[in-house]
Structure 1
Amino acid sequence: MNERQVNILETLSTEKKIEVKQLAALADVSEVTIRKDLEILENQGLLKREHGYAVANGEDNINYRLAFGYPQKFEIAQKALKYIEPNETVIIESGSTCTLLALEIAKRDQNNTIITNSTFIARYLKDYPTTKVILLAGQYQGKSEAVVGPLIRESIKNFHTDKIFVGADGIHETFGVAGSNYERTEAAKMMRENASNVFVLSQSYKLDQKSNYHLFSLDDIQYFITDDQISEDERHALQQHDIVVD
């Protein structure tokens, strides 16, 4: 993804809907060039095109969450990638940053296996045959393109991995790591039961924020992977819980 396309996503994260000619003016390129960018981004599911406009996806849509804060999420995914060995099997839950990590794993082409509750990840990786995707059973949640519910525990009990990668909507000293959707949070808890080390992938602005549903206490996680905007005080506070901060 080039810098111009990243800027389009950043603009849409605040504007929600913007004319093609405005995007062309902002980027100082032709409308033809912007339309080509929009076609690429639409094919990746990151936005919609509508009668001369670029339009953001709905906020609970995984495509919207993937596009929002894309540069930081991509940075986090790149950092997390270095912890995964060739041929390793990992569990990845259905968050947007986790989706970018799954794509980076597949692009690296090192025969990894991904166990996930995300139908979006399974669909996203369909053109990467050397990366095996094991999709857990459960109730389908349409907007998030994930499966949830108690069947996840039944389907994952046959697996155990060293690492699980999860996203977060809030990280707080007392409330811990939390999510904004109850069913997806419960799914992540069940998946965590079959992994030794928890990697939380999150943008730093979510630190010191509470979200609706408790996921893990800070003492339950081993790694926190974030962007370069984390402060030294925030880093130190997490390290007090023996968390590796990257």
Structure 2
Amino acid sequence: MSKRNTQQRRHYIISELNDAGEVSVESLARRFETSEVTIRKDLAALEKSGLLLRRYGGAVPLPREIVEPQNQKVSKQKECIGKAAASLIKDHYRIVIDSGRTTSALVEHLSDKRGLVVMTNSLAIASRLNELENEPTLLMTGGTWDPTSESFQGQVAEQVLKSYDFDQLFIGADGIDIERGTTTFNELIGLSKVMANVARDVIVMVESEKIGRRIPNLELPWQQIHTLITDNGLPANLKQDIESKGVIVICAD
């Protein structure tokens, strides 16, 4: 079955779940004239995406306290930042998407791009890229799995990246030090530096609430950053301070 039909089937499953309050593997298999194994794979993928909870023989909706975001503003910020980042990507570009919740917001806006080559160190991002109908060429870094960042890190990943060159890197940050650059809680910053070295343009995606947050571990200095994309909550004085470092600042609305 094509990826398009797979997506349509999964959209139906969510719609049916919202209407009926539960779905069963057996009834879905009959509805789509497919195997129960295929339906279980659908439910597993949807559960991994945070859209439902599996139970014996089927699935039920997520509890309301899980479904409703604790901070809707943050969700909208990520969406705006992701859309703005995608507008910078041209057809046939070769890009790197680093792991992270903000960078992952970029993926859904890539469906109209042709001939993309995308490298990532995130299994979650790779899975979402694989669902796109335009089927970008997908590359994985491999390496050592780091549960803290939920991504591959280490020397193997670095060596793989050094074998390529890219038009753009899209990377997040735990904080932005106005004087120094991007900062992170994670001490594994070697891969980030390699990603920046192999990309022509480094684009940082970060919510405005993180700008001015000083964290000990410097990840990327301003000299390596081409563009910073944030939301429209960034104060004008901080925007000017960052631009004075030679960085293009985009405040997505």
Which TM-score band applies after superposition, normalised by the shorter structure? 0.7 to 0.9
Q: Percent identity?
A: 21
Q: Which residue of 2 aligns with 1:239?
A: 243
Partners of 2:142 and 2:62 in 1: CA distance: 40
Q: Does the alignment pair 1:172 with 2:177?
A: yes
Unaligned runs of 5+ in 1: 1-31, 58-63
Partners of 2:209 and 2:61 in 1: CA distance: 35
Partners of 2:64 and 2:160 in 1: CA distance: 40
Report the CA distance shift for 1:93/1:52 in structure 2 as closer, same or farther (over 3 A): closer
Letter matched to residue 193 of structure 1: N
Report the CA distance shift for 1:157/1:231 in structure 2 as closer, same or farther (over 3 A): same
Q: Which residue of 2 aligns with 1:215?
A: 219
After the TM superposition, which residues 104-183 of structure 1 pair with which residues of structure 2 at under 5 Å, given as runs?
104-105=109-110, 107-128=111-132, 130-142=135-147, 144-183=149-188
* Residue 211 of structure 1: how far off its partner (Å): 2.4
Instruction: Give 3-state SS (helix, strand or coil) of 1:200's partner.
Output: strand
Structure 1-normalised TM-score? Answer: 0.72
Report the CA distance shift for 1:173/1:54 in structure 2 as closer, same or farther (over 3 A): same
Q: Does the alignment pair 1:53 with 2:63?
A: yes
Q: Which residue of 2 aligns with 1:86?
A: 91
Match of 1:99 among 99, 104, 110: 104
* Residue 206 of structure 1: how far off its partner (Å): 0.6
Q: Does the alignment pair 1:187 with 2:195?
A: no
Letter matched to residue 53 of structure 1: P
Report the CA distance shift for 1:240/1:89 in structure 2 as closer, same or farther (over 3 A): same
Letter matched to residue 192 of structure 1: A
Report the CA distance shift for 1:44/1:75 in structure 2 as closer, same or farther (over 3 A): farther
Report the CA distance shift for 1:123/1:175 in structure 2 as closer, same or farther (over 3 A): same
1:191-215: CA deviation from partner (whole Å, max 9, x where unpaired): 1121121100000111110124211
* Residue 35 of structure 1: how far off its partner (Å): 5.8
1:68-111: CA deviation from partner (whole Å, max 9, x where unpaired): 92210010011111110011111111111111112321x22422
8 Å CA contact 1:181–1:212 kept in 2: the answer is no
Report the CA distance shift for 1:149/1:55 in structure 2 as closer, same or farther (over 3 A): farther
* Residue 48 of structure 1: how far off its partner (Å): 6.1
8 Å CA contact 1:94–1:118 kept in 2: the answer is yes
Q: Which residue of 2 aligns with 1:11?
A: none
Instruction: Give 3-state SS (helix, strand or coil) of 1:69's partner.
Output: helix
Kindly report structure 1 stretches of 4+ aligned residues shifted beyond 6 Å: none
Report the CA distance shift for 1:189/1:48 in structure 2 as closer, same or farther (over 3 A): farther
Report the CA distance shift for 1:48/1:180 in structure 2 as closer, same or farther (over 3 A): farther
Letter matched to residue 105 of structure 2: L
